Structure 1
């Protein structure tokens, strides 16, 4: 397993605009991509996504790990499958979490970014 290319901060609707402004204006990160519910910033070799989540009341950080065999890696981690979190359209992998509850996208690198 190795670090992926994405890290996401899932932000409640009422804090999203200020959080985006913080990373853009105060930290000075460059916007690399804008979607309807997300803004991606250049973050070294990674993309830091600030995702707007209207039904959420607290902030969550989600990370990504790459492995050539996500099924075997999930077994090694001994972590639960969390496929209910978000659809994995075009991605070979699984949602899971660490013992503290941090969400992890465990996927093959060559699947969708």
Structure 2
């Protein structure tokens, strides 16, 4: 396994605009992509996504890991599958979490799959 290129901060609706402004205006990160419910920033070669989650009451940090065999990696981690979190439409992989509850996307890397969150 190795680190992926994406870090996501899942933010409640009422905190999203202020959080995006904080990273853009106070920290000075460059916006690389803007979607309806997500803003991506350049984070020293990684993409830091600030995702708006309307029905969430707390902030979560989600990390991406790459593996040539995501199912074997999930088994090696001994972590529970949490594939109900978000659809993995065009990604081969699994959602899981670490012992502290940080959500991890263990996914296959490759040019055939988008490496954006």
Same fold? TM cut 0.5: yes
* Structure-1 separation of matches of 2:33 and 2:114: 15
Counterparts in 2 of 1:23-102, with a 5 A limit? 23-102=23-102
**Equivalent pairs, count:** 113
What is the Cα deviation at residue 88 of structure 1?
Answer: 0.3
SS in 1 for 2:21: helix
* Structure-2 separation of matches of 1:112 and 1:29: 23
Gaps of 5+ in 1: none
* Structure-1 separation of matches of 2:107 and 2:84: 16
2:16 aligned residue: 16
SS in 2 for 1:23: helix
* Structure-2 separation of matches of 1:21 and 1:112: 27
What is the Cα deviation at residue 112 of structure 1?
Answer: 2.2
* Structure-2 separation of matches of 1:90 and 1:112: 8
What is the Cα deviation at residue 63 of structure 1?
Answer: 0.2
Under a length normalisation based on structure 1, what TM-score does the superposition of the two structures give? 0.98
Gaps of 5+ in 2: none
What is the Cα deviation at residue 39 of structure 1?
Answer: 0.2
